[in-house]
Amino acid sequence: MAYAIHHEIGVKASPGSVYEALTETKGLAGWWIADARGVGNKVGGVLEFSTGDFLRRFEVVELQPGKVVRWRWKGDEDDEWAGTEVTFKLTPDGNQCWVNFSHSGYRSEQGCLPHCSMKWAVFMLSLKDLLEKGKGHPAPDVQINHD
């Protein structure tokens, strides 16, 4: 059985602006992880995100401009993120764009999934702040524990 994280947030921005924040390294660095590099605006591109002791690599597997962004984990198979995919679905609605987020394919609902769910929620709020207020809160960000 596979497990997933799901979040939904309304952002006062166009689907094109949200899409750009999800596919351009400058945008990704503005809301998720400050050290974002690689190619996020081309299927087959690889994105890397690092906080020093934390490195995440994803292959871009689907892009539908203004509608869908999907990445597949491209790292160590022993990692808890092995086999996972991150998907952002964008839906315009009046003066906002709904961002439906999922991080699917977890092998267990234990381990890192509860922590990652909370962190993704923080980062969805960071994406909203980047697009609505001009400044997000990329990692290092709001700490949710005392490690």
56/40 Cα distance (integer angstroms): 13
Q: What is the pLDDT of residues 50-66, one digit of tens each?
A: 988 778 899 999 999 99
Per-residue pLDDT, 51: 84
Per-residue pLDDT, 76: 77
Q: Coil, strand, or helix at residue 117?
A: helix
Domain interval for residue 80? 3-133
In a domain, 145, yes or no: no
Tell me the average pLDDT of the chain.
Answer: 93
Q: What is the CATH number of the domain that holds 80?
A: 3.30.530.20
In a domain, 140, yes or no: no
Our count of domains for the chain comes to 1
Q: What is the pLDDT of residues 65-95, one digit of tens each?
A: 999 999 999 977 778 888 899 999 999 999 9
Q: What is the pLDDT of residues 86-138, one digit of tens each?
A: 999 999 999 999 999 999 999 999 888 998 999 999 999 999 999 999 999 99
Per-residue pLDDT, 142: 67
Per-residue pLDDT, 140: 66
Per-residue pLDDT, 146: 63
In a domain, 65, yes or no: yes
In a domain, 141, yes or no: no
- State the SS3 of 24-77: CHHHHHHHCECEEEECCCCCCCEEEEECCCCEEEEEEEEEECCCEEEEEECCCC
In a domain, 91, yes or no: yes
Predicted model pTM: 0.94
Nearest CA-CA partner of 107 in 80, 85, 87: 80
Examine the pLDDT at 147 and tell me if it is beyond 70: no
Per-residue pLDDT, 89: 98
In a domain, 119, yes or no: yes
